[in-house]
Amino acid sequence: MTYLNELEQALVGLPKNEQENIIEYYRNYLADGGLSDEEARVKLGESAVLAEKLKADFDQEDGDEVTTRAKQTQPLTRGQFILVILTSPIWLLVTLISFLGIASLPLLAWGIALSLIIVSAFSGIAGAVVLTQNFWGGLFYIGMAVISIGLSIMFSPCATWLVMKATDWTKALLLKIQHTARRVMNHE
């Protein structure tokens, strides 16, 4: 993961536009300085440490922003609390399905990529065998093998991307749950 990606993830909790400002600033900073990820780590410090500094600075200076952010974690009222408990069968199910969905997407993608490779191997072998008896039939199978291997090559970056995205989504979902849980615990 690049330095900027790390920083971006560590900035969660700041208002969106401030996150964008920071990333934009440091994207240009690294480009202007011709700094690699390693050099950035040395010059700016570990991304997590830099993010903490930026957050601390932001909270310290912006009284208004802090109160609006604090408002988001206001405890639930009694009515809201009862509603959350009553609807728990629904949202527990939805959360579970979301997690399963997120987890199954990359698995599915890798499954497809893998099966394409297997298909290509089998039809390649079949093609080679058939070729001696039936030239055009053999050629057909070999063609299938080439297509499958091509598709699997095209598919694997997509699968890798999905794995990375799935991690991000899981993190985001966990943060949401943590946030909600905190509100539920603090109910009046």
Single-letter residue type at 122: F
Burial bucket for residue 24 (CB in 10 Å: 0-12, 13-18, 19+): exposed
Binding-residue pattern over the window 23 to 42 for other proteins, x denoting contact by CB under 8 A? -xxxxxx-xxx---------
Q: Is 50 in the site for other proteins (CB under 8 A)?
A: yes
Q: Which stretch binds other proteins (CB under 8 A): 43-51, 134-142, 159-167, 175-183?
A: 43-51
Binding-residue pattern over the window 58 to 97 for other proteins, x denoting contact by CB under 8 A? x--xx-----------------------------------
Q: Count residues near other proteins (CB under 8 A).
A: 21
Single-letter residue type at 74: Q
Question: In the bound complex, what is the minimum distance in angstroms from residue 5's beta carbon to other proteins?
Answer: 17
Q: Is 45 left (phi over 0), alpha (psi -120 to 50) or beta?
A: left
Q: Give the number of other Cβ atoms within 10 Å of residue 125's Cβ.
A: 13
Distance of CA 124 to the CA centre of its chain: 36
Question: In the bound complex, what is the minimum distance in angstroms from residue 12's beta carbon to other proteins?
Answer: 18
For residues 144 and 141, what is the distance between their CA atoms, to the nearest angstrom? 5
Q: Is 22 in the site for other proteins (CB under 8 A)?
A: yes
DSSP E strand stretches across the chain: none
Q: Is 13 in the site for other proteins (CB under 8 A)?
A: no
Our CB check for other proteins shows the closer of 57 and 168 to be 57
